[in-house]
Chains A and B, each alone.
Chain A
Amino acid sequence: MKKTFRLVSVTLWAVLNDMLVIGKLGRKRKAMYAGVVLFTLLMSVLSFFYNFMMGSGLKMFDSLDILPAIIVSAASFVILMTTIFKIKGTVFGFKDYELLMSLPVSTTAVVASRLIILYCFNFLFTIILILPMTIAYGILARPGFGFYIMSLVLMFAVPLIPLITASVLGTVIAYILSKFRRNNLLNIIFSISLMLIIIALTFAFRGDEQELVNMSKAITQQVYGLYPLARLYTNAVINSDVLAFFLFLCISVSAFILYALIVKRLFKKINTLLMTGQTRANFKLGKIKTGSPLKALYSKEIKRYISSSVYVLNTGIGIVLLTISTIAGFFVDLEGIMGGELMFSLAKDNAVLYLIIFIMVSCTSMASISIEGKNFWILKTLPVTPMAIFISKIALNLTICLPALLDAVLIGILLKLDFLRIILMFFIAAASALFISQYGLIINLMLPNFSWTAEVAVIKQSAASVVTIFSSFIFFAVFFIFKFVIPTGAGAYLGYLLFMLIVDMILYCILKSYGVKRFYSL
């Protein structure tokens, strides 16, 4: 047991360090730890307000009791989705597998430590969602003491079933994909398809309009239909049904124990299967293609990007969603969905925001320096200027954002905007893509992390990515200033475009001066 917890603590600290390491700026590390705590608190507060608002709304339709079931289902659903693709790298196929298995530690201890780590990540997420819900429901419904006790106890069990489901699915997917030579590409296609199916299903549920009188029943049935365990949860915490309480606990815990026993049995076998590299050893030198150094760097960036499904899913999904939602807009009654002419007109005025937000979250460059990791020496010793390297990294980001230019035109046509605004939207999309590419790169040069052990740590959990995403919204918000100053016509669009172009030029100058110096000093 002692060894298991030692393994857990070592891994958790390694993950935290991966997330928080920001180069040589030792002092800033404390600030970053504080930042993470603040971020968690902020998310909890936001979660509370969201729950409270939702609960108040449900109370109006006499449906407050469904709130815990909705949140438990939502939490389980998110855990399922985020864990499926985390299994390979956490429980199976993780980097230090060989090192751990060579230590005088039993397989049981190693398996237990991996499952505890997986549980810990998901439990933290569960707390952020369920604890604020419990408080919000408590304020709104004023339930008895039993509600709090049962909610708190069941909170520990909530992540178990989605975690097991995700783990089984994730392992099967990883195993099937490992049989293919281009498994990363297949993984990306499969993951994006799965996400789109889920989003489509969510819309399908929302599209089913019910009369207000029947809404409560409809929501309840939908939630229970999506996640049957939510019914047990509701019965336990709302109706103080002790049997439901123990049934929920028993199902979750026994399933987890059973799962742990199965994993223990198959641990070595699955890891061996997943970690055995595909080799053919039958290469014959064929036709050789040559290219310029810049083309070689760009091609290397593209290959690096596609090789990481985590990278693609976290930075490319925004543009995929933007494109699909734009195309889908041509096949639905947009005005009807928006609920009338007024909303349609509002959408016309602010269409550019919809476009920019998807571009701003499609930033590959915020991790493009850190992702080099132990390979960074190659870039440092190549006979190319740092600017050539930066351009190749910016070019990758621009390539990802390329569909947004077409989307800008399509959105303009869809919302029946005038020609001038469509043209301005096109250029705003281009300027925003250039902005986020350069901005992310500068932030990553300032806050690099080359000592990561898992890609996900630099792609979405690093200081650089958090700072880039959150601070870029300031530039997004500038549009509102232009909108406030020039409320009608295309003036705000033009003003914002000029603003973004000036910012782009400033960022280019920063890259050329500070960026180059910083690159040499890394």
Chain B
Amino acid sequence: MLKITNFSKSYKRGIKAVDNLNLEVKSGDIYGFIGHNGAGKTTTIKSVAGVLEFEEGEITIDNISIKRDPVACKQRMAYIPDNPDLYEHLSGIAYLNFIADIYQVDKTERRKLIEEYASAFELTQNLGDAIGSYSHGMKQKLAIISALIHKPKLLILDEPFVGLDPKAAHTLKTLMAKICNEGSAIFFSTHVLEVAEKLCNKIAIIKGGKLVAHGATSEVIGNSSLENVFLELIEDKQ
């Protein structure tokens, strides 16, 4: 579903934020992307989502290059940034309709999915209010609903649990498992290692722009815990 090949991204003065990264997310995968602050997670995620341009390497979604046909790639995926700044002047429902119109979700399907997800995240009653009046958690919930209503094949999430209340976090985890069972794939970054360990079937650890470990969660952590493995890897490389 998502294939990252020899991907590098440099910023000003040639400083490499990500260095020759190779990774593959298959249908049904919940792929956790773990690393320090500034390790290169968000740069990678933004490049996959088509927010950042890159020169070296290739990123394909459903075998389509994000460089060559970004619109087709974006049609197949949904992205939620770490801090979802949404259109504050729109009401929640207007924003969902805007996204649904862009992805051409038909009326019946749209109604069904909005009802289902808004109810799951307990946001139905607030959908008529302006997004500007929402709390951070409510915005996060709305961003998640907007990402799910067009049934993406690939879901890219940057720190999706930040700001969510425990119940909403649980709902999100359940939904993540559900949509992956239905054949979609999820690639997400997180600092909550316990969640990654329990939820992900695959994990990648990035440090200083390079992958230091990746593969099936059971293989990466072995008999230890993800926290221990992560700390060991980070210490080792230092």
Chain A interfacial positions (CB closer than 8 Å to B): 184, 277-285, 288-293, 295-297, 299-300, 303-304, 307-308, 373-375, 377-378, 380-385, 520-521
- The interface residues of chain A lying within 8 Å CB-to-CB of B125 are 281-283
State whether A381 touches B102 (Cβ < 8 A). Answer: no
Given contacts A290-B110, A381-B74, A381-B79, contact A280 B129 (CB under 8 A): yes
B103→A383 contact, CB < 8 A: yes
Q: Are A293 and B71 in contact (CB under 8 A)?
A: no
- At the interface, yes or no: B22 with Cβ under 8 Å from chain A? no
- Identify which of B79, B101, B128, B132 contacts A293 (C-beta below 8 A): B101
Q: How far is A178 from B37 in the complex, measured between Cα atoms in Å?
A: 40
Give a binary string over B88-121; 1 marks a CB under 8 Å from any A CB, 0 the rest.
0110111001101111101100110011001000
Task: Decide if B127 is an interface residue (CB 8 Å cutoff).
Answer: yes
Judge if B85 is at the interface, Cβ distance under 8 Å. yes
Contacts of A373 in B (CB 8 A): 85
The answer to whether B133 and A288 touch across the interface, beta carbons within 8 angstroms, is no
B101 contacts which chain A residues (CB < 8 A)?
290-293, 295-296
The reply to whether A521 and B89 contact each other, CB–CB distance below 8 Å, is no
Size category of the binding interface on chain B: 35 or more
14 residue pairs of the A-B complex, CB under 8 angstroms, read: A277-B130, A280-B128, A282-B125, A284-B124, A285-B118, A285-B127, A288-B97, A303-B89, A374-B85, A375-B85, A378-B87, A382-B102, A383-B74, A383-B103
B107 touches A290 (CB 8 A): yes
Please indicate the chain A residues that have their CB under 8 angstroms from the CB of B93 in the complex. Answer: 283, 285
Measured between beta carbons, the chain A residues less than 8 angstroms from B70 are: 520
B12 to chain A: closest CB distance in Å?
8
Binds A, one of B45-53, B205-213, B225-233: B45-53
Report Cα–Cα, A281/B53, bound state, in Å. 40
Classify the interface of chain B: helix, strand, loop or mixed: helix
Chain A residues lying within 8 Å of B74, measured Cβ to Cβ, are 381-383
Q: Is the CB of A381 within 8 A of B89?
A: no
Any A CB within 8 A of the CB of B126:
yes
Q: Which residues of B contact A297 (CB under 8 A)?
A: 102
**B51 engages A377 (CB within 8 Å):** yes
Contacts of A291 in B (CB 8 A): 101
Which of B72, B79, B92, B102 touches A296 (beta carbons < 8 Å)?
B102
CB distance from B151 to the nearest CB of A (A): 13
For B51, list chain A residues within 8 Å (CB). Answer: 377, 380-381
Task: Check B115 against A279 for contact (C-beta < 8 Å).
Answer: no
Please tell me if the beta carbons of A293 and B110 are within 8 angstroms of each other in the complex: no
Kindly list chain B residues whose C-beta atoms are within 8 Å of the C-beta of A307: 89
**A-contact bits for B21-33, CB 8 A (1 contact / 0 none):** 0000000000000
B104 touches A278 (CB 8 A): no
CB <8 Å contact, A377 and B85: yes
Q: How far is the CB of B186 from chain A (nearest CB, A)?
A: 16
Closest CB in chain A relative to B110 CB, distance in Å: 6
For B126, give its contact among A278, A283, A378, A380 (CB under 8 Å): A283
CA of A300 to CA of B89, assembled, Å: 10
CA distance A213 to B129 in the complex (A): 63
Q: What residues of chain A lie closer than 8 Å to B106, measured between beta carbons?
A: 290
Q: Is the CB of B129 within 8 A of A279?
A: yes
How far apart are the CA atoms of A409 and B85 in the complex, in Å?
A: 44
B50–A303 contact, CB under 8 A?
no
* B106 to chain A: closest residue by CB: A290
Q: Knowing A288-B97, A384-B71 are in contact, say whether A279-B126 is a contact too (CB < 8 A).
A: yes
Q: Provide the bound-state CA to CA distance between A520 and B66, in Å.
A: 12
Q: Is the CB of B128 within 8 A of A282?
A: yes
Query: Measured between alpha carbons, how far is A284 from B93 in the docked complex, in Å?
Result: 10
Quick check: is B86 within 8 A (CB to CB) of the other chain? Answer: yes
Are A385 and B133 closer than 8 Å at their CB atoms? no
Min CB gap B128→A, angstroms:
3
In the complex, B215 has a CB within 8 A of chain A: no
- Let me know if A521 and B53 touch, CB within 8 A: yes
A290 touches B129 (CB 8 A): no
A373 to B88, CA, bound (A): 12
Q: A377-B51, A384-B71 are in contact. Are A296 and B98 (CB under 8 A)?
A: yes
Which 7 A-B residue pairings sit nearest by Cβ, starting from the closest? A277-B133, A283-B128, A307-B89, A296-B101, A374-B85, A383-B74, A383-B75
Chain A contacts of B118 at CB under 8 A?
A: 285
State the CA gap A306–B130 with chains docked (Å).
14
A116, chain B: closest CB distance, angstroms: 28
Q: Are B132 and A383 in contact (CB under 8 A)?
A: no
CA of A308 to CA of B88 in the docked complex: distance in angstroms?
11
Q: Is B163 positioned at the interface, with any CB of A under 8 Å from its CB? A: no
Q: Which B residues are CB-close (under 8 A) to A521?
A: 53
Which residues of the partner chain A approach B111 to less than 8 Å between Cβ atoms? Answer: 285, 288
A373: nearest chain-B partner, CB-CB? B85
A306 CB to closest chain B CB (Å) equals: 8
- Min C-beta distance of B142 to chain A, whole Å: 12
Minimal beta-carbon separation of A126 from chain B (angstroms): 34
Roughly how many angstroms separate A284 CA and B119 CA in the complex, as a whole number?
11
**Chain B: CB-nearest residue to A281:** B125
Partner of B94, one of A281, A292, A303: A303
A278→B85 CA distance, assembly (Å): 19
Q: Which residue of A lies closest to B100 (CB)?
A: A290
Q: Report the separation of the CA atoms of residues A184 and B51 in the bound assembly, to the nearest whole angstrom.
A: 31
Is B81 close to A, CB under 8 A?
yes
Minimum CB distance partner of A291 in chain B: B101
Q: In the assembly, what is the distance between CA of A278 and CA of B125, in Å?
A: 14
A9 to chain B, nearest CB (A): 28
- A303→B95 CA distance, assembly (Å): 11
> Given A285-B114, A295-B101, A377-B85, is A385 in contact with B126 using a C-beta cutoff of 8 Å?
no
**Cβ–Cβ contact A278 & B133, under 8 A:** yes
A184 contact set on B, CB distance < 8 A = 89
Please report the C-alpha to C-alpha distance between residue A67 and residue B173 in the assembled complex, in whole angstroms: 73
Q: In whole angstroms, how far apart are the Cα atoms of A377 and B125 in the complex?
A: 27
CB pair B97 A381 closer than 8 Å: no
* Residue in A373, A375, A521 with the greatest tally of chain B CB atoms within 10 Å: A375
Residue of B nearest to A293 (CB): B102
* B104 and A293 contact, CB distance less than 8 A: yes
**Residue on A with the closest CB to B146?**
A378
Interface residues of B in 31-76 (CB under 8 A from A): 49-51, 53, 70-75
A-B contacts besides A279-B126, A304-B89, A377-B85, 8 pairs, CB < 8 Å: A279-B129, A283-B125, A285-B111, A285-B115, A303-B94, A307-B89, A381-B74, A521-B53
